[in-house]
Amino acid sequence: MNYRHAFHAGNFADVFKHVLLTRILLYLLRKDGALRYLDTHAGVGRYDLAGDEAGRTGEWREGVGRIVGAPAPAEIAGLLAPWLAAVGPVNPEGMPMSYPGSPAIAQTLLRSQDRLTLCELHADDAQALAANMGRDRRLKVLRMDGYTALRAYVPPVERRGLVLVDPPFEAFDEFDRMTKSCLEAWRKWPTGVYALWHPIKDEAAVDLLHERLRAAGVSRLLRLELSLARPQRDGRLVGSGLAVINPPHVLADEARLLLPWLAERMGAAPGSRVRVDENPV
């Protein structure tokens, strides 16, 4: 499969992932000390929702398109506000004109003392990423395999920060590669925060991911999932998850507020499910 995220930018999985990413970063920013953000599969940074790829699928309309401008209870609106600010301007119809990938969200939120390391293996995407991120002394774009970067760049000199592992799941052994690489990094830097994104199609594979993390000794683990329908192994993607190592202590409670509302807004169908499990067995 030749995966191109531009076809899927701003869909339900992106909204789920990026709203939670924003909440994690904001928690880390409560302390004055510098932090490092490492993105192992960065993509191009920002996506044109009026472009050919996004227009062909229209997936963003059922994701970010259902959230921007939607009325929300005050507490949920407050939690969403920083992510919505990163999404940026809307067109005369009230729809977003572009969608920020995780690098653009982190760039928006982080401070002058913080640093971003953005890894993208594909040459064209790495070039587009550098162009989209602009001149910013805080960040470095590396054209390299994200798992190789994970081994090479932890622990960071700041000793605080977040690693987002968000592979395209093109390879049949992606769960295995992600698990092994993240555990290797965690052993070198056990105090870092790691957010491991994954699709939910094969639920046994997701269970195994968490079992392996726990068996390796990860003592603080948060399992976050949003499925808009019952996942089918050979069907279209309807479920998305994050395994968060060393999660902020407020993240589970924030997710319990946010995820049911997001699921309802983005069209939850029979068989839909939200899951927030702390230290799942």
3-state class (DSSP) for residue 269: coil
How far is Cα 50 from Cα 165, in angstroms, rounded to an integer? 27
How far is Cα 280 from Cα 242, in angstroms, rounded to an integer? 13
Residue-wise over 186-224: b if at least 16 C-beta within 10 A, else e?
beebeebbbbbbbbbbeeeebeebbebbeeeebeebbbb
CB-CB contact of 166 with 17 (8 Å): yes
CB-CB contact of 248 with 23 (8 Å): yes
3-state class (DSSP) for residue 163: strand
- Enumerate residues 6+ apart whose C-beta is below 8 A from 116: 36, 37, 38, 39, 103, 106, 107, 110, 136, 138, 139, 140
How far is Cα 152 from Cα 27, in angstroms, rounded to an integer? 26
Measured torsion, CA atoms of residues 140, 143, 147, 152, in degrees rounded to the nearest 10: -50
Active-site residue flag, 253: no
How far is Cα 276 from Cα 242, in angstroms, rounded to an integer? 10
CB-CB contact of 178 with 212 (8 Å): no
Q: Quick count: other Cβ atoms within 10 Å of Cβ 269? A: 11
Which entry of 14, 39, 114, 166 is annotated as an active-site residue?
A: 166
Catalytic residues: 166
